[in-house]
Amino acid sequence: MAKKQGGLFAERIETPLGAMLAIADDEGLRLLEFVDRRAMERELSILRRRLHTNVVPGQHRHLDAIRWQLADYFSGKNLEFDIPLAPVGSPFQLRAWKILRSIPLGETRSYSWMAKQLGDVEMRRAVGRANGENMLCIVIPCHRVIRADGTLCGYGGGLWRKKWLLDHERKVMSDE
């Protein structure tokens, strides 16, 4: 399929946790979400509006890359992602998502920890909102953020997926 200039290209990717939708353009991966996520329509609308383009099914080198990297992640072969990312968000969200990417594989941090990294421990709720608006799940690992008491909470893909992802990363890391 020919790539037209300036469009967003989408591909459905099957994973052990259910189907995901990946969207990319020449800047990088824009969205990676489970297709059953309730916020999917809102996220697609945000992408179309902010990038002034439509989302169409198609092929793109970044979609090929995320398909292979997800296969490696789920098989435990390689948990690291090196695909170019082009998240769409406010300056605060982009800073929060950068902090998420600093959380080591198989480890967790609290919302309070993230707020402190952003300069204000009282920003826990804002951090929670930014994490909830992350459109690049797994790759920008919001699943690694938990409550200060160690309990799981707040994962748009479902808490069962959050638990699975954390258990998977810990198991692969302990096997190395």
138 shares its domain with 69 = no
In this prediction, residue 58 carries a pLDDT of: 93
pLDDT at residue 2 is higher than 70: no
Rounded mean pLDDT of 24-50? 94
117 shares its domain with 58 = no
Strands 28-34 and 20-25, by their bridges, are antiparallel
54 shares its domain with 110 = no
Q: Number of helices and strands (H, E) in the chain? A: 6, 6
In a domain, 152, yes or no: yes
In a domain, 56, yes or no: yes
12 shares its domain with 63 = yes
70 shares its domain with 13 = yes
pLDDT at residue 89 is higher than 80: yes
> Does the model's pTM come out above 0.75?
yes
103 shares its domain with 158 = yes
pLDDT in tens, 138-158: 999 999 999 888 888 878 888
In a domain, 80, yes or no: no
52 shares its domain with 21 = yes
Domain edge (last residue) among 36, 51, 75? 75
**Tell me, what amino acid is at 57?**
P
In a domain, 86, yes or no: no
65 shares its domain with 104 = no
For residue 142, indicate whether it is catalytic.
Answer: yes
Catalytic residue among 99, 139, 142, 145: 142
pLDDT in tens, 66-82: 999 999 999 999 999 99
Residue pair 111/124 in contact (Cβ under 8 Å)? The answer is yes
In a domain, 62, yes or no: yes
In a domain, 82, yes or no: no
- Total domain count, the chain: 2
In a domain, 97, yes or no: yes
Q: CA 133 to CA 173: how far, in whole Å?
A: 28
37 shares its domain with 97 = no
By residue range, what is the domain housing residue 106? 91-175
In this prediction, residue 1 carries a pLDDT of: 39
Query: CA distances (Å), 134 to each of 39, 58, 123, 138, 175, in order?
Result: 11, 23, 17, 10, 29
Q: CA 79 to CA 172: how far, in whole Å?
A: 8
pLDDT in tens, 93-126: 999 999 999 999 999 999 999 999 999 888 888 9
In a domain, 83, yes or no: no
In this prediction, residue 155 carries a pLDDT of: 81
Structure tokens belonging to residue 19: 């189907």
54 shares its domain with 123 = no
Q: Which residues contact 166 (CB under 8 A, 6 or more apart)?
A: 106, 108, 143, 144, 152
Q: How confident is the model at residue 161 (pLDDT cuts 50, 70, 90)?
A: very high
pLDDT in tens, 17-26: 999 999 999 9
In this prediction, residue 156 carries a pLDDT of: 80
CATH number, domain containing residue 97: 1.10.10.10
118 shares its domain with 167 = yes
pLDDT at residue 64 is higher than 70: yes
pLDDT in tens, 119-138: 988 888 899 999 999 999 99
In this prediction, residue 4 carries a pLDDT of: 43
